[in-house]
Structure 1
Amino acid sequence: MSLRSTVYFAGWGGDSLGWEEVPGIELRLAANHNPVCVEVHTLNFPDAEHLPPGDVEAIDLATLPYTELFWASPACPAWTDAKGRKRYFDKSNQYTLLSDDELGTVIEDPAEARSRGLVEQIPRYLRAMAGRGTPVLAGVMENVIQCRRWDQWDRWLRAIESIGPGYETRVIALNSMHAVPRRCLPAPQSRDRLYVAYWLKSLGRRPDWDKWLRPKAWCPTCDRVVDAVQSWKQPGIDMGRYGARHGQYVYRCPAKSCRFQIVEPFTVPAAAAIDWSLDPGEKIGERARPLAAATMERIRIGLAKFAGESFLTPAGGTWRADPTALSAPMPARTTRESDGLVVPPLIVQTSKRADLTARSTGQPLPTQTTRRELAVAIPPFITSLRGGGSRKTARHVGEPLGTFSARGFHHGLVQPPGSTAVVEQLAGTREQLLVPYYRTGLARPLTEPMGTLTTRDRHGLLGIDPDRILAECTFRMLEPDEIRAGMAFPPTYIPIGDKRTQAAGYGNAVTPPVPEVIGCALVEAITGEPIERTAA
């Protein structure tokens, strides 16, 4: 059975990429106000019809072809906290208590109010199709999680449920790094988003959400891989961020035998999105234009946390400060360049006769011979170039990236020295090492016992200067292809424009694995035919 789809606010095409990987879905029509986005979408989806760039509110719905499915991703900036502005859309009945001027009135940008009003285009479209006697069978609305705080949310959701023969709805909180696709690339990025799925009641079937939305996780108590269950920390909450410490929900093992232990779903690390063949960037201490003080502080935090490994560091904005290890998912992508790659070096001997031990630049060099046998290897972590909650965070490259946003490059790759001792220096435990003079001895941090004392003076005290270590790190911004990979777009995807245009396009997009898994659940409910969870 072929199911045709219309996509509103098609943007850079992430939703269409995921939608098209669902068996039976055919992309028929796409609409967007931005000419650049329409051009990119046309290049990558040449078989779909594209409306001329323009206001979706002005579309004559009577002239549109009917499609069984409808995906819409209304503009998110007017909802998100990332802008760092006061929010009123969740308190419209309290405006006089929250006024911006002496008269007790709220001063709000009309463009932002209009942007939020774009969510009303979804029930408008559904009513138009139902009024023609051809109701949409199912669809999805995607947005940022703050949209759920809208004081008109319940009215809006009821409006959808009451259209035509009636719809059932499901509000879904899903982080992109936990979407387990069939055919799409997985997302090496932590990106919390809101999805509202709806389907006709008259279908007589409901989507199997457990099949498509539960990520795999390792339960250490049960000693096996399980299908993790989403668990909200507070009763009555249905939207928020993932996280055991700062989030609103976690994942648990479904087994009673382990008392539903909290588990961590498997994720793809940020390292999967980094192009290691690229130049690691300039040494921080040799940059003609010094990094901003806030960025330097973020890198110091990352070094304290991940010394010996590269990391991403925030480099702009107001909402994130923690560095990110490259073993973790990327922070969520925005439309700005907001992360730099910081790379502290290791010294590696290339001679065949040399031992295999690499040294950090916090240790003395091995004996220099008459040959050119020493190389600098660069291991990395990720830091976000934003403020706010990102100001003091870093991520390992083995974790997913933080969220990419629509305002550019906010991720930097940082690389710190690899000695365990250096980690402790930078973490503030000590700023010195005890160095033995005898041949077989190893330098020790002052937090460890001294080596054996003999009758001779065999120990020296070595001071470490964290600022010099920082100056030796390299730093560069993530390139558009790395942002593309962080958004789980395939290498074959065709972008246009300069780096900033591409960063904005990818950062505004939907990560393809999410529409794929939600689409599979909806298509199963429509057709009554099961879809294999794993593609052949």
Structure 2
Amino acid sequence: MLLPNEIIVDNFAGGGGASTGIEQALNRHVDIAINHDPDAIDMHKLNHPKTKHYCESVWDVDPVEACAGRPVGLGWFSPDCRHFSIAKGGQPVDKNIRGLAWVVVRWAALVPMRVFKLENVQEFLTWGPLVEVSPGNFKPDSERQGETFDAFIKCMTTGLNKVHRAWTEIKEALGDNFPYDKLEKGLGYKIEHRTLSACDYGVPTTRKRLFMVGRNDGKAIVWPKPTHGPKGSGLQPYKTAADIIDWSIPVRSIFGRKRPLVEATLNRIAKGIQKFVECEDPYLVPEENVLPFINEHANASNQRVMNANEPLRTICAQVKGGHFSIVTSHVIKLRGDNLGHRTDEPLHTISAGGNHLGAVQAFLIKYYGTGAPKAANEPLGTITTKDRFGVVVIKGEKYQIVDIGLRMLEPHELFAAMGFPKDYMIAYNSNGKKNSKRIQVARCGNAVCPLVAKVLVEANFITDDSRIAA
């Protein structure tokens, strides 16, 4: 547990994922939260009103002044990962953003901090110097990968030799008036790091992150045991995308839209239908949890979509639709060449750069025809010219695909996928103004999964050997 008078500081606080997990573990509020983004701090304030908030750069907050003589029992640091992540590809990187982790050294050197935790992408281990490839554009030096990370660890542990090549970068980050003699001697932390997958701890997303734990109180660093796993593991089954999808939200038919879907999206849907629906065991949507609809497939310019729980509209002779007897679903990923995944698997990692995960639902009826309808293994732009989209066989029964729906996942579904509590306030700001989806998704994609923070803090602050991993 925390010692008397110790406080908790959440640097890079964002929308409050780490703070939520810490509070769940220790049953007390975080004392200080820091973030430069007004939208992030506003969401944090709404959900963590007892915390003192600093809406400014982490470099502008003086640790000595903020702590006011109180020791830090736990410092949490989640520096911006974008300029380490492989998702950034070959784009130029920013030295200042990559150097944000030196804030950990600053806090550890200036105030008593007993335990710290750092969260980032796995590529953080490759932290090294940059080379200028063109005026103002920098990329990592492939021959010196991990050099700066090594310097960071030595500063925090046994000390950094005066001849180490990272000193120039360190002094650029920490400034002139800093006790560098402490870094030469070493700050005395014992440090370990591991990569943890959120789905292993009951979070319905595959999000995988590097976690570092350091402590200087002589106690052992402990890691939480996974609680969830694949079938046959003896653990609880993984939470899945199906657990967080709001089945009451109707999907919109991909056909007859005023603004047609782009070809790349249609191709993804077609390939996804082939892989996840035209299979022996597709994911079947629970009938009691879905609001089916009826879609007209006439040759009219304005096809009608009707809820199945409303009185049936006048049906003309050429309508080819009907009440659907089976609905299947899979998750589409509108990024890269990934098709997505089955709905009964954990949701793929959510990005702060925009919502790129959607739900695809295929509506099927029993097939009684004698012809050979075209299989859905071509771009849907071609298939829509046919009378039928395809026939699938599910457990020996033939079904005809009569419509396909697509919608992007809503922010509240994405927050649920990250393991946030159902009552977490995301839709409105502190002035009662509705937050845009962009603002909500950005807070979610940048967040730490609360449950992962919770089990990590519990493992190191609450004595219970059964939760400690080997």
* Aligned match of 1:380: 329
* Aligned match of 2:145: none
Runs (5+) with no aligned partner, structure 1: 87-107, 130-134, 180-185, 227-264, 310-323, 328-342, 348-367, 429-442, 449-461
Judged with a 3 Å threshold, the aligned counterparts in structure 2 of structure 1 residues 506 and 218 are, in CA distance, closer, same or farther, namely closer
Hey, what's the Cα distance between the residues in 2 that align with 1:427 and 1:419?
A: 19
Hey, what's the Cα distance between the residues in 2 that align with 1:373 and 1:118?
A: 58
Structure 2: which amino acid aligns with 1:153? Answer: F
Structure 2 residue matching 1:70: 3-state secondary structure: strand
Match for residue 273 of structure 1 among 233, 244, 268 = 244
Structure 1 position 278, deviation (Å): 0.9
Structure 1: which amino acid aligns with 2:73? Answer: E
Judged with a 3 Å threshold, the aligned counterparts in structure 2 of structure 1 residues 33 and 303 are, in CA distance, closer, same or farther, namely same
* Aligned match of 1:246: none
Hey, what's the Cα distance between the residues in 2 that align with 1:143 and 1:494?
A: 25
* Aligned match of 1:148: 125
Structure 1 position 484, deviation (Å): 1.3
What is the TM-score normalised by the length of structure 1? 0.61
Match for residue 5 of structure 1 among 8, 18, 22 = 8
* Aligned match of 2:268: 298
**Matched-pair contact (CA < 8 Å) for 1:346–1:379:** no
The answer to whether 1:173 aligns with 2:195 is yes
Q: Superposed, which structure 2 residues align to 1:410-489 within 5 Å? A: 410-417=356-363, 425-426=375-376, 469=401, 472-489=403-420
Structure 1 residue matching 2:355: 3-state secondary structure: strand
Match for residue 161 of structure 1 among 157, 160, 167 = 157
**Matched-pair contact (CA < 8 Å) for 1:4–1:26:** no
The answer to whether 1:225 aligns with 2:234 is yes
Structure 1 position 61, deviation (Å): 2.2
Structure 2: which amino acid aligns with 1:414? Answer: V
Match for residue 138 of structure 1 among 115, 118, 121 = 115
Structure 1 position 424, deviation (Å): 11
The answer to whether 1:199 aligns with 2:181 is no
Judged with a 3 Å threshold, the aligned counterparts in structure 2 of structure 1 residues 392 and 300 are, in CA distance, closer, same or farther, namely farther
**Matched-pair contact (CA < 8 Å) for 2:294–2:323:** no
Structure 1 position 269, deviation (Å): 0.8
Judged with a 3 Å threshold, the aligned counterparts in structure 2 of structure 1 residues 199 and 426 are, in CA distance, closer, same or farther, namely same
**Matched-pair contact (CA < 8 Å) for 2:9–2:75:** yes
* Aligned match of 2:225: 213
* Aligned match of 2:65: 63
Match for residue 22 of structure 1 among 25, 29, 33 = 25
Structure 1 position 378, deviation (Å): 3.4
Hey, what's the Cα distance between the residues in 2 that align with 1:19 and 1:25?
A: 8
Structure 1 position 225, deviation (Å): 1.6
Structure 2 residue matching 1:379: 3-state secondary structure: strand
Hey, what's the Cα distance between the residues in 1 that align with 2:153 and 2:438?
A: 36
* Aligned match of 1:361: none
Runs (5+) with no aligned partner, structure 2: 129-147, 159-182, 286-290, 296-316, 379-390, 429-434
Structure 1 position 213, deviation (Å): 3.2
Root-mean-square deviation (CA, aligned residues, Å) is 3.7
Structure 2 residue matching 1:475: 3-state secondary structure: strand
**Matched-pair contact (CA < 8 Å) for 2:10–2:34:** yes
* Aligned match of 1:507: 445
Structure 1 position 83, deviation (Å): 2.5
Hey, what's the Cα distance between the residues in 1 that align with 2:154 and 2:365?
A: 58
Judged with a 3 Å threshold, the aligned counterparts in structure 2 of structure 1 residues 165 and 409 are, in CA distance, closer, same or farther, namely closer
What is the TM-score normalised by the length of structure 2? 0.69
* Aligned match of 2:98: 116
* Aligned match of 2:299: none
Count of equivalent residues: 362
Percent identical: 30
Structure 1 position 23, deviation (Å): 3.0
Structure 1 residue matching 2:362: 3-state secondary structure: coil
Structure 2 residue matching 1:46: 3-state secondary structure: coil
Structure 1 position 344, deviation (Å): 10
